[in-house]
Amino acid sequence: MRVSDLGMSNGYDIHTHSSFSDGTTSVNEIAQEISRLGLRGFSLTDHDTIVGWDNAREAAESFKVDFLPGIEITTKFDGLSRHLLAYGIDANHVEIFKALDEVRASRETRIDRMVENLSVDFSFTLENILKGSDTVSLGRPHLADALIEAGYFANRSEAFDAVLHPDSPYYTTTTVLHTLDAIRLVRAAGGVPVIAHPAATRQDAPLPVESLQQFVEAGLWGIELDHPENRTEWLPGLEAAANEFNLVVTGASDFHGSGKSNRLGDRFSDVSVVERIREIVATPF
């Protein structure tokens, strides 16, 4: 929902990143800002990790906001990167965490390779960026920060546009889950799968409806149509499909601290969405 449509006091920002992945703020700062904005709660959806959940629960309690456990899983479908949000998975589900461990390990080898590639033309090191960091999920934003520190770029966006995008000669891919496998795993782990930013500007085209249909057949529950990076002109087709497939529509900011222009609470979901999630998941709080 857009801020103007609904009262923020019933709003949850259910897609946020902390310094445990590639956000620049702590979980505590996120909870504090959620409270300051007058939102009811938030979900922490760090990339491929739930390591921040315990801190987030504590922070939510101290700032008197509500916490919904979440994660954003890196997946691929038809050769394209597709991010899958998942809420309320069982933190002890062996199979999903074995898969996520592999995804994070692959992120590390991939970053090593990209450092090698970039080092041919850029003189920089990741050392300082990682020294002060609590990340367990390395990503290109950390490379961006290292290149910014070395003086090559002014912000992450510039670094992505110049050298970190998928068509860049410096780019290497990661081993990730197939989107359909990830959807099934999330369901098996008692979670609710929601496809993230299906019409994001960083993609060449919106998620095809035929792909969405396969996601639905695998168990997809929701679709993040209200996201600051979704392209408005790509939305009508996806809205019609979401309606046809009975998907729940979610909204969220995809906050990354100062790493992106997305502001916390820019977009949010109504409490009713969070209540529906809580009715069916293994870890509702």
Residues in touch with ligand AMP (CB under 6 A): 22, 47, 139-141, 156-157, 160, 202, 256, 259-260
User: Measured from the CB of residue 139, what is the shortest distance to Zn ion in angstroms?
Assistant: 6
Kindly state whether residue 254 participates in binding Fe ion, applying the rule CB under 5 A.
yes
Decide which of ligand AMP, Zn ion, Fe ion, none touches 82; Cβ closer than 5 to 8 Å per partner kind.
none
| DSSP E strand boundaries for the chain | 11-13, 41-44, 66-77, 80-87, 177-178, 192-195, 222-226, 248-251, 269-270
**DSSP character at residue 277:** H
Decide which of Zn ion, Fe ion, ligand AMP, none touches 93; Cβ closer than 5 to 8 Å per partner kind.
none
User: Measured from the CB of residue 223, what is the shortest distance to ligand AMP in angstroms?
Assistant: 18
User: Measured from the CB of residue 260, what is the shortest distance to Zn ion in angstroms?
Assistant: 8
**Nearest CA-CA partner of 191 in 115, 91, 74:** 91
Q: How many C-beta atoms lie closer than 10 Å to residue 279's C-beta?
A: 10
Nearer to ligand AMP, 229 or 239 (CB): 229
User: Measured from the CB of residue 17, what is the shortest distance to Fe ion in angstroms?
Assistant: 6
Tell me how many degrees the CA angle 177-83-258 measures, rounded to the nearest 5: 130
Closest residue to ligand AMP, judged by C-beta, is: 139
Among positions 177-196, residues that touch Fe ion (CB under 5 A) are: 196
Nearer to ligand AMP, 160 or 234 (CB): 160
Task: Name which position in 82, 83, 104, 260 contacts Fe ion (CB under 5 A).
Answer: 83
Closest residue to Fe ion, judged by C-beta, is: 83
Decide which of ligand AMP, Zn ion, Fe ion, none touches 268; Cβ closer than 5 to 8 Å per partner kind.
none
Task: Name which position in 13, 22, 46, 224 contacts Zn ion (CB under 5 A).
Answer: 22
Among positions 48-77, residues that touch Fe ion (CB under 5 A) are: 72
User: Measured from the CB of residue 125, what is the shortest distance to Fe ion in angstroms?
Assistant: 26
3-state secondary structure 190-253: CCEEEECCCCECCCCCCCCHHHHHHHHHHCCCEEEEECCCECHHHHHHHHHHHHHCCCEEEECC
Contact indicator for 189, 96 with CB cutoff of 8 Å: yes
Tell me how many degrees the CA angle 256-258-261 measures, rounded to the nearest 5: 75
Longest CA–CA span in the chain (Å) reads 52
Query: For tokens 């456990």, what's the residue?
Result: 69
Contact indicator for 43, 12 with CB cutoff of 8 Å: yes
Tell me how many degrees the CA angle 205-2-4 measures, rounded to the nearest 5: 150
User: Measured from the CB of residue 184, what is the shortest distance to ligand AMP in angstroms?
Assistant: 22
User: Measured from the CB of residue 256, what is the shortest distance to Fe ion in angstroms?
Assistant: 7
**C-alpha span between 71 and 278 (Å, rounded):** 15
Query: What are the residues binding Fe ion (CB under 5 A)?
Result: 72, 83, 196, 254
Q: Which residues bind Zn ion (CB under 5 A)?
A: 17, 22
